[in-house]
Amino acid sequence: MSRRTSRKSLVGLLLAALLAVLGTACSGTEKSASPPRSPSASSTAPNPAPSATVGEATGKPASTSPSPKSSPTPTAGPSGPSGSPTANAKANCASPGACGFPDADTTGHRTELTPHNTGYLAIREHGKVIRGWDIKGSLDIYANNVTIIDSRITSDSWWGINLRPGFSGLKVLHTTITAVPGKGPDNGGVDYAVSNMGGSSIEVGWCDVSVFGDALSMGQGNLHDNYVHDIAPFVNLGGEWQHTNAVISGGGNTGHLIIRHNTLLNATSLKQGASGSIGLFADTGVVRNVTVDRNWIAGGAYALYGGSTGATGIKVTDNIFSTEYHPNSGGYGVVAHWNHKGAGNVWRNNRLSDGRLVTPEPSA
């Protein structure tokens, strides 16, 4: 009898334990089946940016210095990766920046600057890096592999930065380059923001350039993601309006000139010496091997001078010719002196800012 009673007690205890375990399991199933709560509006996921080195097309500084400007990753420009014309959808914009082109927010210096009243300064140290300088003066480069980054140059000379013949490897990145109108040796003719006098390529990227009459001057180089604007017209010592161009090349080049994803504005009036936004001129020899790709271009007598009858290897693709200054982008039209029969010359998917395709007239 006592054994039966003890067994019943044991069974009762085991049954109670089993019910407790089942209750816990059911409770766990119910909790996992309930919908998860949404995260609070104040919580944000981390978004680490990849590190960058000098010259990488990231629009972000390589250092961890504080940046007063936003530096978004550059966009693909007016055309998609396949080269299909997406310019129609992006053409009607209030400003170049609204279409993803460079502007004051995405170019120029990004860090705090230290004043350097250099005046004229010749650089003769190979591999020198100038970073974070606020320069009152101009730089004349007699050295290889010089880098100027996150700086500002205010010039009262012929140029802001000049590379001498026989030297190579110059990089000008994330720098603001401007001048003082009315100053300079040619009655205010501060002509070149960056000048390449040599036969080797240089890189100019993410720079904010203003005032200079012929802002970026070279036969070979890689000009990308720059904002050229507010060119200041002036009368030279000869008593004539100086011709103005956002980018100019005089021909006779031995290398490749790449002009890619820039905003190039020349608001100079026709009566004050406007020449082009991009001027490819056969002044010192034949123009050859130039790529003009995915730029926002506006102003000049003609927005683009195409190199004339001898030009070869000129590729003009996927550009937007803005009508912000003239109905046809330039005062007289979009393009002049285009050599349609030149070997390797390509004109493809270039449009006015209202989306209309542009077809150049052959040069005479």
pLDDT tens digits for the chain (364 residues)? Answer: 333 333 334 334 334 444 343 343 333 333 233 222 222 222 233 333 333 333 333 333 333 333 446 443 333 333 333 333 344 435 677 789 999 999 999 999 999 999 999 999 999 999 999 999 999 999 999 999 999 999 999 998 889 999 999 999 999 999 999 998 877 777 777 789 999 998 999 999 999 999 999 999 999 999 999 999 999 988 888 888 989 999 999 999 989 999 999 999 999 999 999 999 999 999 999 999 999 999 999 999 999 999 998 999 999 999 999 999 999 999 999 999 999 999 999 999 999 999 999 999 766 5
**286: which strand partners?**
none
Number of H helices, E strands in the chain: 2, 26
Tokens of 72: 């978004």
Sign, Cα dihedral of 283, 220, 267, 353: positive
- What pLDDT does 176 receive? 98
Sorted by sequence, the CB contacts under 8 Å of residue 355 that are 6+ apart come out as: 87, 88, 91, 92
- CA atoms within a 13 Å half-sphere pointing along the CA-CB vector of 342: 27
> Which among 268, 169, 254, 180 is positioned nearest to 218, based on CA atoms?
254
Instruction: Give, as one character, the DSSP assignment of residue 48.
Output: P
Residues in the chain: 364
pTM as predicted: 0.77
Around Cβ 341, how many Cβ atoms within 10 Å? 10
What pairs with residue 292 in β-bridges?
Answer: 259, 316
What is the reported pLDDT for 72? 39
Let me know if 113 is exposed, middle or buried by CB neighbors in 10 A (0-12, 13-18, 19+).
Answer: middle
Q: What are phi and psi of 6, to 5 degrees?
A: -65, -40
Query: CA–CA separation, 218 vs 216, rounded Å?
Result: 7
Rg of the chain in Å (alpha carbons): 30
Q: What is the pLDDT of residue 4?
A: 33
Query: What's the pLDDT at 185?
Result: 79
- Give residues with Cβ within 8 angstroms of 238, minimum separation 6: none
**Spatial contact of 149 and 110, defined as CB atoms under 8 Å apart:** no
Three-state DSSP class for 308?
Answer: coil
Burial class (CB in 10 A: 0-12, 13-18, 19+), 148: buried
The H or E element that residue 224 is part of is strand 221-224
Which residues contact residue 42 at a Cβ distance below 8 angstroms, ignoring those fewer than 6 apart?
A: none
